[in-house]
Structure 1
């Protein structure tokens, strides 16, 4: 039997406090609502008790961030797309930020198992003055266990309407599959990829945009991924970077480093890493 889960998150200001209310149907819910940085920022840890998605499973997250709110959303473990017997597993995220809202979308990695048939779709709509920092880390197969991603199909879509649309398909049945994963213009033999972005619902001043780019490049240059990473700004209110690694662990260090410098640059806030990351 396929799992069908839906979670609605609604963030509103109660005085100076960001209050997050949730409604869920099925096995996707909020583990904990925390305010470790003070009342202005609400940390939400999302859990999916079945532990992963198999063929036919559907998980849907819809979030609305009211004016002036600040939400940090993360997970306690990896999102796992297991082997499918034919049906597609789907995870979708649709977040809408009202003016002045802030979102940090910081889930742990996504693992696409050998033989999966899966899609992961994310859409973040930012009104004028709204800002976000987000990341996605994708691992293909389980290299440490000798399980290569040589069978299956994984689709990913990340969209910031009006600024950026990123769509990727990794399909082992594609005749160009080997060149995609091992060619120097593709994954270059690596099996884990991170995409990190910060965005605003309106154009940043040129000086801020350049500073965010410099921050990202310096953070990457200081780590082991300098040769397989890069940062760019394809739109006036968007800075993004990509990095490749053989496994997730080096990516994890890199994305945290970039988030730290961006958080300080944009909001004058310390890192405030969620405690769940240390358990």
Structure 2
């Protein structure tokens, strides 16, 4: 049996309070709204009770943020693409922000296990004055575990989240799996490409993933062009975070368009990539919105 789950989440402003309402089809919904920073910022946790996707499943999330709202969305755990017999599993996210809305899109990592057939689509539409701060963190379960490379018989404590055992398959890892990644802001940013386990040149070339099993992008998108000074100071803030980090040699920040700031990184596993992504989010949140780096409560669990 396959699932086609859809969630439509709408944020509106009521008496200076950001309020969330949603409709859903299938096993996809949000938990109770929280306001740890005050009534103007609504925190929500997006949950998918089955915990993962198999071939043929589709998870579709549509978020509409009305003018003046500020919302933060995250997840309680990783999104998992499990082994497929051939059908494709899809995760489709559409973020639509009206004028002067703010949205933080901060899901935990996506894990693609061996033999998975996965597609991950993220698209953003921003009206003038709207701003979105978010990330996309993906780990490839068909890449060699650094712990296995370092020692022949690692202990259980050395297994990393990016390479957690696939509960659908206890066989030794095989070079199979495919991920189509599509990240887009129409007219501003488009990244689309396929990563396949059989493409050893892409996986191991210094011009590709260089043997890393985790790739991540952190972005700040604006519906109105940022000034050159705004872009440079924001890039300086990001580079100050990256420089002392262990991933400094495989991370960087740039501004490919006046409406977009982008930081990318490669990592051997999820943990250092997520730590750097959180630090970059904190730096840009403070820089652009003068807000402290308040973390969703679910991250502490």
- Structure 2: segments with no counterpart, 5+ residues: 146-158, 166-171
Residues 38-53 of structure 1: pairs in structure 2 closer than 5 A? 38-53=38-53
Which residue matches 1:160? 185
Per-residue deviation, 1:149: 6.6
Superposed CA deviations along residues 205-243 of structure 1, whole A, max 9, x for unmatched, are 111111111111110112101000111100001110111
1:209–1:237 Cα contact (<8 Å) kept:
no
Which residue matches 2:282? 260
Which residue matches 1:180? 202
2:257 pairs, out of 235, 238, 247, with 235
Per-residue deviation, 1:32: 2.5
- Give the secondary-structure state (helix, strand or coil) at the position aligned to 2:231: helix
TM-score, normalised via structure 1 length: 0.96
- Give the secondary-structure state (helix, strand or coil) at the position aligned to 1:277: helix
1:260–1:270 Cα contact (<8 Å) kept:
yes
C-alpha distance in structure 2 between counterparts of 1:157 and 1:41, whole Å? 28
C-alpha distance in structure 1 between counterparts of 2:256 and 2:69, whole Å? 27
Which residue matches 2:135? 135
C-alpha distance in structure 2 between counterparts of 1:254 and 1:171, whole Å? 25
Residues 55-204 of structure 1: pairs in structure 2 closer than 5 A? 55-141=55-141, 143=145, 144=159, 148=173, 150-173=175-198, 177-204=199-226
Regions of 4+ moved over 4 Å: 145-149
Of 129-138 and 143-152, deviating more is 143-152
C-alpha distance in structure 2 between counterparts of 1:148 and 1:165, whole Å? 32
Per-residue deviation, 1:252: 1.1
1:140–1:148 Cα contact (<8 Å) kept:
no
Of 98-107 and 148-157, deviating more is 148-157
C-alpha distance in structure 2 between counterparts of 1:56 and 1:34, whole Å? 33
In the alignment of these two chains, the number of paired residues is 276
- Structure 1: segments with no counterpart, 5+ residues: none
